[in-house]
């Protein structure tokens, strides 16, 4: 026994010595090529100088090919260095029958180094740890599949570096042979796309193809890779979690939103009360900003929530894909349609929280809209806790009348948790009053950011469409930090707290003056305008366009064109959703209609306000 143990220890020591020798040889190769080829290539990568990299590789000939292998391997081990640069440079420098195997050999070499570092030296990468959450989520959804198939799935996932996947694979019990076979084959689609982009670039530089064709080739190759990734995700990863917030698409969607919000401040979260809520729960929030859903994502949910979204976002093809796979619940705003309630019940039954904005539309002036669709009886029927959340600071970050978003302090506060037993004992009216009171916010009275930008009033005429001084319609103009009236010359200047500096102190005060002017004329109101109309079918996949005339009086909304005519009583039109300075939308026969005024498009804000006033006066 002692001899066997001694022999085994000698074998292990010999194996370790062999591995150290192999790693030493690799390090010597790196050192030999580093100064003359690799270091200049890294400088070119920083400067995105693909042409220079290609010229250097061609000049070095055989040595250039070895350099491609070593750099590809190094990028696997280090992880955070992009591999596409050397792959495209290789495609520019060598024919595809050389560039493709060079890159794949480099990937295999890097994967081998990672395997040795993990298995022998128990090395762990901090960059791998940062990607571990995404990898673990995919691994848990693929728990019934073997490790080889799981690694194939991981290699097809966007946003996960190949090196991080190799660190994961090496940490499992997979054999080196299966590990290398998986790595060498699963990396090929991505490498092929990068190399072909390089080949297309080489054809362009040699004047064999025009620039427009090069652009088309790059786009088509990217689409092909995305389609392959999408097919793999849908076929294998999303099968069990598809159309729920557990879907990998949900994580990808919020990862994309995070990238788009790069440089913006994260919201300040005050969520101590969430421990009082039993999951699954309803989460009700006020609505100040388009990305309020993203602010609520930062709350410490035990399970990712399903969010109610307006159906008109599904008119955008890419968002329609995410809506389907992320478990978002789409709602036909102010239409009387209740199909979304079944989807809320389904999500609750599966244990997912559901986020609802009871206002049903974004705040126009920074104050919460009245809740016109009363849902208290439905909330009680669900028999779950209700978490009430107030968002403050989101309005001035990106109000609906301005195209530009500012970085802003945003507070997300759970103000109250209503237990299901407490809710059952309330009347519908009592519950509605509590929800309205807890969610109400006036951004002008709770400013938490200094806005030093010099274009704060740009686009403000899309909301404050009427002069508060002379009453002139559609004569206001926002530029810089000033809202001017082109009729009487009145000027209102916005300060760093987003307040006006004159007698009218805030946007809500100005909006209230307009409201009072409209109220005085409400009895004789009769509006009419020529419009372009876009009509979507019930599935939001097709649309048709036409022109017509729409009108509004104290009794009804009316629309007519050469082929269509309908009226909607004001009593059946609780509110109008609108996009400032562009359009408003409503439903008729379950079809979404976009109305674009041909003159004075700022008037859509007026139409929405008048519908609110007509409903309020009843």
Number of domains in the chain: 4
- Angstrom distance (rounded) from CA 509 to CA 607: 19
Note the helical H segments in 301-393.
317-326, 339-349, 376-382
Tokens 């007698």, residue located: 503
Closest CA to 102 of 136, 62, 132, 134: 62
Supply the mean pLDDT for the chain: 81
Question: Is 80 exceeded by the pLDDT of residue 97?
Answer: no
> Could you tell me if residue 319 is inside a domain?
yes
Residue bearing the bigger pLDDT, 563 or 516: 516
Residues 467 and 338 occupy one common structural domain:
no
pLDDT tens digit sequence for 34-56: 455 555 555 555 555 556 655 65
Looking at residue 367, its pLDDT comes to 96
**Would you say 510 and 504 are in contact if contact means Cβ atoms under 8 Å apart?**
yes
Q: Which domain holds residue 375?
A: 248-445
Residues 435 and 464 occupy one common structural domain:
no
- For the four alpha carbons of 35, 39, 44 and 50, in that order, the dihedral sign comes to positive
> Could you tell me if residue 64 is inside a domain?
yes
Residues 399 and 286 occupy one common structural domain:
yes
Residues 176 and 321 occupy one common structural domain:
no
Q: What is the CATH number of the domain that holds 609?
A: 2.30.29.30
Write down which residue in 178, 205, 232 finishes a domain.
Answer: 205
Burial class (CB within 10 angstroms; exposed 0-12, middle 13-18, buried 19+) of 229: middle
Question: Is 50 exceeded by the pLDDT of residue 144?
Answer: no
> Could you tell me if residue 39 is inside a domain?
yes
Mean pLDDT value across residues 431-444? 96
Closest CA to 81 of 113, 123, 120, 110: 110
Looking at residue 299, its pLDDT comes to 94
> Could you tell me if residue 236 is inside a domain?
no
Question: Is 50 exceeded by the pLDDT of residue 511?
Answer: yes
Question: Is 50 exceeded by the pLDDT of residue 8?
Answer: no
3-state secondary structure of 346: helix
Residues 300 and 378 occupy one common structural domain:
yes
Residues 299 and 436 occupy one common structural domain:
yes
CB burial string 207-218: b at 16+ within 10 A, e below:
eebeeeebeebe
Residues 190 and 261 occupy one common structural domain:
no
Write down which residue in 179, 205, 231 finishes a domain.
Answer: 205
Note the helical H segments in 281-414.
292-297, 317-326, 339-349, 376-382, 394-397
Residues 299 and 413 occupy one common structural domain:
yes
Question: Which of the residue ranges 142-151, 306-315, 566-575 has the most confident prediction, judged by mean pLDDT?
Answer: 566-575
Question: Is 50 exceeded by the pLDDT of residue 269?
Answer: yes
Q: What count of other Cβ atoms lies within 10 Å of the Cβ of residue 240?
A: 12
> Could you tell me if residue 218 is inside a domain?
no
> Could you tell me if residue 176 is inside a domain?
yes
pLDDT above 90 covers a percentage of the chain that reads 46
**Would you say 555 and 572 are in contact if contact means Cβ atoms under 8 Å apart?**
no
Per the structure block, which two tokens stand in for 411? 């507070």
- Angstrom distance (rounded) from CA 77 to CA 107: 9
> Could you tell me if residue 221 is inside a domain?
no
Residues 332 and 361 occupy one common structural domain:
yes
Residues 367 and 389 occupy one common structural domain:
yes
Mean pLDDT value across residues 340-361? 94
Write down which residue in 147, 178, 205 finishes a domain.
Answer: 205
Residue bearing the bigger pLDDT, 338 or 596: 596
Closest CA to 335 of 368, 312, 362, 357: 312
Closest CA to 323 of 306, 336, 335, 339: 306
> Could you tell me if residue 450 is inside a domain?
no
Residues 533 and 502 occupy one common structural domain:
no
Residues 36 and 93 occupy one common structural domain:
yes
pLDDT tens digit sequence for 191-230: 776 666 655 655 555 556 676 665 666 667 666 766 666 6
Q: What is the CATH number of the domain that holds 269?
A: 3.40.1130.10
Burial class (CB within 10 angstroms; exposed 0-12, middle 13-18, buried 19+) of 161: buried
């Amino acid at each position: 026994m002692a001899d066997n143990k001694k022999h085994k220890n000698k074998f292990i020591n010999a194996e370790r010595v062999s591995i150290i020798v192999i790693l030493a040889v690799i390090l010597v190769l790196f050192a030999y090529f580093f100064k003359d080829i690799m270091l200049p290539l890294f400088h070119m990568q920083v400067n995105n100088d693909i042409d220079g990299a290609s010229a250097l590789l061609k000049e070095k000939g055989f040595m250039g090919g070895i350099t491609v292998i070593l750099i590809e391997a190094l990028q696997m081990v280090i992880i955070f260095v992009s591999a596409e640069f050397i792959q495209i440079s290789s495609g520019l420098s060598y024919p595809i029958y050389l560039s493709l195997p060079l890159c794949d050999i480099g990937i295999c070499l890097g994967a081998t180094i990672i395997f040795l570092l993990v298995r022998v030296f128990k090395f762990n990468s901090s960059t791998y740890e940062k990607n571990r959450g995404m990898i673990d989520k995919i691994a848990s959804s693929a728990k019934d599949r073997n490790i080889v198939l799981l690694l194939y799935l991981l290699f097809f996932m966007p946003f996960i570096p190949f090196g991080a996947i190799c660190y994961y694979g090496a940490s499992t019990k997979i054999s080196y042979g299966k590990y290398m076979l998986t790595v060498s084959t699963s990396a090929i689609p991505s490498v092929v796309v990068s190399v072909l982009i390089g080949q297309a670039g080489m054809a362009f530089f040699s004047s064999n193809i025009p620039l427009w064709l090069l652009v088309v080739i790059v786009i088509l190759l990217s689409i092909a890779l995305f389609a392959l990734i999408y097919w793999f995700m849908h076929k294998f990863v999303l099968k069990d979690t598809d159309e729920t917030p557990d879907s990998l698409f949900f994580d990808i969607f919020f990862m994309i939103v995070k990238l788009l919000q790069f440089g913006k401040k994260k919201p300040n979260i005050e969520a101590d009360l969430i421990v009082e809520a039993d999951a699954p729960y309803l989460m009700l929030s006020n609505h100040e900003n388009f990305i309020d859903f993203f602010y609520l994502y930062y709350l410490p949910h035990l399970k990712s929530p399903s969010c109610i979204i307006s159906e008109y976002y599904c008119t955008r093809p890419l968002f329609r894909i995410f809506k389907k796979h992320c478990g978002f619940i789409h709602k036909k705003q102010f239409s009387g349609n209740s199909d979304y309630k079944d989807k809320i019940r389904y999500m609750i039954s599966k244990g997912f929280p559901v986020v609802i904005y009871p206002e049903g539309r974004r705040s126009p002036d920074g104050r919460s809209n009245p809740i016109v669709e009363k849902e208290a009886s439905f909330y009680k029927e669900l028999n779950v806790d209700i978490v009430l959340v107030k968002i403050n600071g989101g309005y001035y970050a990106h109000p609906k009348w301005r195209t530009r978003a500012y970085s802003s302090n945003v507070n997300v506060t759970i103000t109250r948790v209503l237990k299901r037993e407490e809710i059952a004992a309330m009347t519908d009216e009592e519950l509605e009053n509590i929800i309205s009171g807890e969610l109400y916010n006036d951004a002008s009275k709770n400013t938490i950011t200094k806005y030093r930008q010099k274009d704060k009033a740009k686009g403000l005429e899309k909301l404050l469409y009427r002069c508060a001084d002379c009453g002139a319609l559609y004569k206001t103009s926002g530029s810089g930090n000033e809202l001017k009236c082109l009729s009487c010359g009145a000027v209102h200047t916005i300060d760093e707290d987003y307040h006006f500096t004159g007698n009218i102190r805030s946007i809500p005060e100005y909006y209230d003056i307009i409201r009072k002017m409209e109220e005085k004329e409400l009895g004789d109101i009769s509006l009419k305008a020529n419009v372009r109309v876009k009509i979507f079918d019930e599935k939001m996949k097709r649309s048709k366009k036409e022109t017509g005339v729409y009108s509004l009086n104290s009794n009804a909304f009316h629309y007519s064109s050469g082929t269509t005519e309908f009226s909607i009583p004001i009593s059946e039109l609780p509110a109008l959703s609108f996009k400032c300075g562009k359009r408003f939308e409503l439903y008729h026969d379950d079809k979404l209609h976009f109305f674009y005024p041909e003159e004075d498009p700022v008037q859509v804000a007026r139409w929405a306000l008048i519908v609110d006033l007509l409903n309020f006066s009843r």
